[in-house]
Every structure is written in C-alpha cells, then in structure tokens.
Amino acid sequence: MKKRLFKLSDNLKYVGLIKPLECQHHLKKTEFSQFWEGVVLNRPTKNDKESWVDIGLDKECKIDYNLPEGTWVTVDIHNHFNERGKNYKGKIVSAKYVE
C-alpha cells in the first residue's frame, strides 16, 4: 500500500532493508483488526457504485461507494471477513463519506 501512496525518494529508497518495527499500532498481515486504512485503486467494478481498496493485506477489499482513485479511507471488515474468498467486502467508516 505504501508504494501506492508515496513516491520513491532517493533518501528512502533502501528503507525496506531495515527490519520492520514491532509496534502495537502497526499490524502485521497475519493479525486481524476490525478497521483498516486503505487507498482506493484504479480498478474497474461491475457497477459504478463500488470501489476497490488496497488495505495492505494479501487481498483487496470492495466497498459500496464509488470514490476517486487515491482517496484514503477507513474500512470496517469485521462483519465482512471471509478468509476463503478472493477478496474482502468492507464498509466504509470514514466520517467524510458516511451519510
């Protein structure tokens, strides 16, 4: 997800070689959380009322809002978590978009 949000900088191009920080607020892909931050992708959907979101996990998440590419959102996947499915189904909880 970082690659989608931040451009490569000469000052930071080797930062990926550093061991990851073990912080409580930085979840690993193997840890589950109800809420995930994500960025809307430029990926087509079957209708114009949905968007795909990269939430930093191995699968992408589909939400029920059509938002512009690059929009940063918070997604609730608690009731929509399906480990066997091809992707996650999420509900957007960003205050800016909730009616």
| pLDDT per position as a tens digit, 2-61 | 666 666 778 777 877 887 777 666 667 677 778 888 899 999 888 888 999 998 888 889
> Domain 2-92 in CATH: superfamily?
Nucleic acid-binding proteins (2.40.50.140)
- Residues whose CB is less than 8 angstroms from the CB of residue 15 and which lie 6 or more positions away in sequence, other chains included: none
| pLDDT per position as a tens digit, 55-67 | 888 888 999 889 9
pLDDT of residue 42: 92
- Contact indicator for 73, 63 with CB cutoff of 8 Å: yes
pTM here? 0.69
**What is the C-alpha to C-alpha distance for residues 62 and 51, in angstroms, rounded to an integer?**
6
The encoded tokens of residue 45 equal 């959907």
Assign 69 a pLDDT band (cuts: 50, 70, 90).
Answer: very high
